[in-house]
Amino acid sequence: MVQFSRICFRKFGNFVDNLRLYVRGGTGGMGMPRLGGQGGNGGDVWVVATKNVTLKRIKDKYPLKRFAAGAGVNSSIRALKGEKGKDQEIFAPVGITVTTEDGRILGDLNAEGDRVMVAKGGPGGGLYSAFEPSKGQAKHIRLDLKLIADLGLVGFPNAGKSSLLTAMSNATPQIASYAFTTLKPEIGKLMYKDHKQISVADLPGLIEGAHINKGMGHKFLKHVERTKQLLFVVDVCGFQLASKTQFRSAFEAVQLLTKELELYKEELVSKPALLVVNKMDLPEAEDKLQELKEQLKNPDEFSDLLPDNMIPKKHMTFRQVVPISATTGFGIELLKSCIRESLDDDATLSTKAIHRERLQALRHPSRL
């Protein structure tokens, strides 16, 4: 039996998950016509992944959000080749995607030390430019944070994700009065007695149409991309988002959630996933749970419950279906064990795969 010492959660106040910056490479140095000297190139601007940095900290520290590299050194009698200008480094959190203003991806920062050049310095003046230097690149870029967590909570607004966090910890997520939606992302750390830590991302709830950015669609879905596994949370009795929207059963909720992920990015549906069936303290919950399990065994037989355009191409396969009640605490300990087991299994498989690759490399070095 897995032992738990405590679970703690860190809540982000004034959470910032994207930032627009102006960057400019340094101007090149002047060449020296009389002696054929070459001016130094301007410095470059880099975004560098660093620990203990947040986008909010960058925003607060650099309110103008402007970053410029140094100019190249002019050619001189003492140094016909001028030195390159000083590079400008922008320290950003791990888990950043760097894009241009029009959305073109410049690079991803997935690990500490990863770096992406965002503005190149201008060439120094020389023979082929009439000894005149060029200006460096200047542009606006965006830093877009996609949370990195072991587990991402996926559920419609009133599925009980925030209540689940509260049941597992002393966290008190902020809830909006409209549609019962979590207002800000929150990263939780599940801490085990053997010092194992598992991070859980609680994110703003999906609504139908999230893939086309309805509600907080893309703010939610972009974070789901960077979690190792998914934890679907559904209300065993189903839900109705508002009086004018259609009632959805637990099975329909699972299919709609799957479809929203699929429409945003198909590979999300291939992530390992567990299903949490919440609110088991409600009347008739056991009967509805059995009905849901039967439907999940043969999802194609029940596809007529949904419009054709909302039927997933590929159904989610859940490693575990865990019934819980966030209100009473029923099933919470079992859920913690299942989360740990699922992640440990994947870690073991990953380690074995790495060992196989290394063994193959030793046996067949010519294939490298």
pLDDT of residue 161: 79
**Range(s) within the chain of domains with CATH label 3.40.50.300:** 4-11+147-351
Length in residues, the chain: 368
Domain 18-145: what homologous superfamily?
A: GTP1/OBG domain (2.70.210.12)
With 0.75 as the threshold, say if the pTM is over it: no
- Contact at 8 Å (CB) between 215 and 183? no
pLDDT of residue 2: 44
**Range(s) within the chain of domains with CATH label 2.70.210.12:** 18-145
Tell me, what amino acid is at 235?
Answer: D
Q: State how far the Cα of 268 lies from the Cα of 263, in Å rounded to an integer.
A: 9
Q: State how far the Cα of 5 lies from the Cα of 191, in Å rounded to an integer.
A: 7
pLDDT tens, position by position, for the chain (368 residues)? 444 434 443 443 456 778 999 999 999 999 999 888 999 999 999 999 998 888 889 999 999 999 999 999 999 999 999 999 999 999 998 888 999 988 899 999 988 899 999 999 999 999 999 999 999 999 999 998 877 788 888 888 777 877 887 777 644 544 333 333 444 667 777 777 787 888 887 766 555 444 444 444 445 677 788 888 999 999 999 887 667 778 889 999 999 889 888 888 888 889 999 999 999 999 999 999 999 999 999 998 888 888 887 888 888 999 999 999 998 999 998 998 899 999 999 888 878 877 787 787 777 665 54
> Which region holds residue 38: left if phi is over 0, alpha if psi is between -120 and 50, else beta?
beta
Which CATH number does the domain 4-11+147-351 belong to among 3.30.565.10, 3.40.350.10, 3.40.50.300, 3.60.40.10?
3.40.50.300
Q: At what angle do helices 217-224 and 250-264 cross, to 10 degrees?
A: 80
pLDDT of residue 367: 53
- Contact at 8 Å (CB) between 230 and 151? yes
pLDDT of residue 175: 39
pLDDT of residue 261: 86
